[in-house]
Amino acid sequence: MNYPIEQIRADFPILAEKIRNKPLVYLDNAATCQKPQAVIDSIVKCYSHDYANIHRGVHTLSVRATDQFEAARDKVKTFINAASEKEIIFVRGATEAINLVAQTYGKSNVQAGDEIVITAMEHHANIVPWQMLCEQTGAVLKVIPMTTKGELIEGEFEKLLNDKTKLVAITQMSNALGTINPVKAMIAVAHAKNIPVLVDGAQAIPHIAVDVQDLDCDFYVFSGHKLYAPAGVGVLYGKQALLEAMPPYQGGGDMIRTVTFEKTTYAGLPHKFEAGTPAIADVIGLGAAIDYITAIGMDAIAAHEHELLVYATEQAQQIKELHIIGEAEHKGAILSFVLDKIHPHDIGTMLDSLGIAVRAGHHCAMPVMDFYHVPATARASFAMYNTKAEVDVLMKGIRDLIAMFG
Amino acid sequence: MFEDLRDLYQEVIFDHNRNPRNFRVMDNADRQVEGFNPLCGDRLTLFLKMNGDMIEDASFQGSGCAISTASVSLMTEIVKGKTEAEAEALFKTFHEMTTGKEEHINLEAVGKLAVLAGVREYPARVKCATLAWHTLDAALKNEQQSISTE
């Protein structure tokens, strides 16, 4: 079956926007991606017909909102193939999910002298929470090194694991380089030494079909807004036994069973980790996004994006002043690059004047920039709705700005 | 192509970006301050040689985008021979020009720096143009530590 690109593009109203009188070419999807009408409609419907606070009210609206909220949890469970809906915790995003694990699982299990292992290509969100935990506990952060192609160095990972290693936290796909890491094999290596693994799926989730039971990861985190869902909602998946043993993250309403001034008992999973009123409509919107993606099919989306990446890479390689940053064998739809003598911020402003949105900066991965000795890169990142024609517009823009700089 | 950008990227800016003026380490500098824009990674070191309250010489090192490079290059040219008070007054006018707070800027007062006026239409790029001047301000106040736009 042909990939229904025209229909998909028609489903995203923002793609009809004109930017500086030019058709929008949106290539900043790794930062956040646009929303299909089905997701926008789900939010409007929620606030227009079905909105009330969840889990408490006996009135009809509260029941409706609760049913839809919990239905979204079930959709997430199916989407990542978790064993139970109790393993799906709604949070604000991948960043909050990682902080939650660091401050609950981490604080309960990590002591002075212990070690936490991450990779050289992490987003700040999978570095800083662990550094904070290390400062609090006296633990040490260890970093799996990478090659100049942007691949983890084989064998170095296993060497870092020892009796002191309490957790491995690795990205499935690098936001700055596009590298897809062999997380399933790495999890098996860590598990052979009884070390749990957290996978940061923020970047991978819209591009790769994820099966947490097949990966056998202990924690998996992602943000909704990179998965065509509203911003402000994300997911922490954790194996049930681990989540049950962890203390709560925040205290408040909805996470308790009973409260007296002497003693509080906590609610069971998943509510133990969901204090306070959540982003109800946004969670329902995440459910709508999953429905939308599932109808198209993750495999079809992945194949389309791979084709775009291969095409964009071939085109980019024709430009002699352009250098691709991140040339891993196994890569997601991200093209990070620098141009000779032209700073990424100038690239960003110039492409914007042509209606092209790319990211210019350190991509919240300053250690990656240091590794490549660049202050920043320009990054084009693709989503299910991008086309080869848009790649052509990008490449023409790059050639023209090189000519203008002279 | 890029017609909309001609106000921002004037030929003078390309010229100073390709061939920055006063781009050298000053061994006998009286003042040396680093400026850093953590958002985009622009980084410069400004050197000043003072003669009383007059800026006798100014130079810089570092790397950044075309706007920030041209801005610091132009600045080192224009402040030479100016007193501290004159340089500070120029900074104030330049700041008003680039942040667009003043409707009627006397562009004659800023001379060549007027080529950077276009930056006010690009809020994301204003800090690229003003980094040099914030660094100069710190140097004139004899603040030795590095400064940051954030």
For A222-236, the pLDDT digits (tens) are 999 999 999 999 999
The pLDDT, as a whole number, for residue A56 is 79
Domain ranges (residues) in chain B: 3-144
Query: Would you call A364 a catalytic residue per the annotation?
Result: yes
Q: What percentage of chain A carries pLDDT values higher than 70?
A: 100
Which range has the worst mean pLDDT, A161-175, A316-330, B69-83, B92-106?
B92-106
User: Which residues of B fall within a CB distance of 8 Å from A393?
Assistant: none
User: Which residues of A fall within a CB distance of 8 Å from B66?
Assistant: 342-343, 346, 405
Q: Which of A216, A179, A187, A64 is nearest to A117 (CA)?
A: A187
Do the beta carbons of residue A202 and residue A176 sit within 8 Å? Answer: no
Average pLDDT over chain B reads: 89
Average pLDDT of B128-138? Answer: 95
Question: Is the pLDDT reported for residue A102 higher than 80?
Answer: yes
Rounded to a whole number, what is the distance in Å from the CA of A376 to chain B's nearest CA?
A: 7
B41/A362 Cβ within 8 A: yes
A369/B42 Cβ within 8 A: no
More confident residue, A303 or B1: A303
Average pLDDT of A276-298? Answer: 97
The pLDDT, as a whole number, for residue A253 is 87
Average pLDDT of B98-123? Answer: 82
pLDDT tens per residue, range A345-361: 999 999 999 999 999 98
Question: Is the pLDDT reported for residue B144 higher than 80?
Answer: no
A376/B9 Cβ within 8 A: no
**Residue A396 sits at the chain B interface (C-beta within 8 Å):** no
pLDDT category of residue A254 using cuts at 50, 70 and 90? confident
Residues 9-28 of A with CB under 8 A from B: 20
Average pLDDT over chain A reads: 96
Average pLDDT of A35-39? Answer: 98
SS3 of chain B: CCHHHCCCCCHHHHHHHHCCCCECCCCCCCEEEEEEECCCCEEEEEEEEEECCEEEEEEEEEECCHHHHHHHHHHHHHHCCCEHHHHHHHHHHHHHHHHCCCCCCCHHHHHHHHHHHHHHHCHHHHHHHHHHHHHHHHHHCCCCCCEECC
The pLDDT, as a whole number, for residue A251 is 92
Sheet harboring B42-51: ordered strands across? B54-63, B42-51, B31-37, B147-148
The pLDDT, as a whole number, for residue B143 is 72
A345/B128 Cβ within 8 A: yes
The pLDDT, as a whole number, for residue A1 is 65
pLDDT tens per residue, range A126-177: 999 999 999 999 999 999 999 999 999 999 999 999 999 999 999 999 999 9
User: Which residues of B fall within a CB distance of 8 Å from A375?
Assistant: 40-43, 63-64
**Residue A345 sits at the chain B interface (C-beta within 8 Å):** yes
The pLDDT, as a whole number, for residue B145 is 63
Nearest Cβ partner of A346 from B4, B41, B65?
B65
The pLDDT, as a whole number, for residue B66 is 94
- Chain B residues in contact with chain A using a Cβ-Cβ cutoff of 8 Å: 1-2, 4-5, 8-9, 14, 17-18, 39-43, 63-67, 122, 124-125, 128
Cα B77 from Cα A258, distance rounded (Å): 72
pLDDT category of residue B150 using cuts at 50, 70 and 90? low
Do the beta carbons of residue A129 and residue A178 sit within 8 Å? Answer: no
Return all residues near A376 (Cβ < 8 A) that are at least 6 apart: A343, A344, A345, A360, A361, A362, A369, B40, B41
Nearest Cβ partner of B41 from A346, A375, A406?
A375
The pLDDT, as a whole number, for residue B99 is 87
User: Which residues of A fall within a CB distance of 8 Å from B2?
Assistant: 350, 353-354, 400-401, 404
The pLDDT, as a whole number, for residue B59 is 98
From A396, which residue of chain B is nearest by alpha-carbon distance?
B1
Rounded to a whole number, what is the distance in Å from the CA of B102 to chain A's nearest CA?
A: 24
From B19, which residue of chain A is nearest by alpha-carbon distance?
A341
Angle between helices B66-79 and B126-140 (to 10 degrees): 40
User: Which residues of B fall within a CB distance of 8 Å from A349?
Assistant: 5, 8, 122, 124-125
B40/A345 Cβ within 8 A: yes
The pLDDT, as a whole number, for residue A41 is 98
Average pLDDT of B17-29? Answer: 95
Fold of B3-144: Sufe protein. Chain: A (3.90.1010)
Rounded to a whole number, what is the distance in Å from the CA of B42 to chain A's nearest CA?
A: 7
Rounded to a whole number, what is the distance in Å from the CA of A76 to chain B's nearest CA?
A: 35
Domains and CATH numbers, chain A: 5-30+298-401 (3.90.1150.10), 40-294 (3.40.640.10)
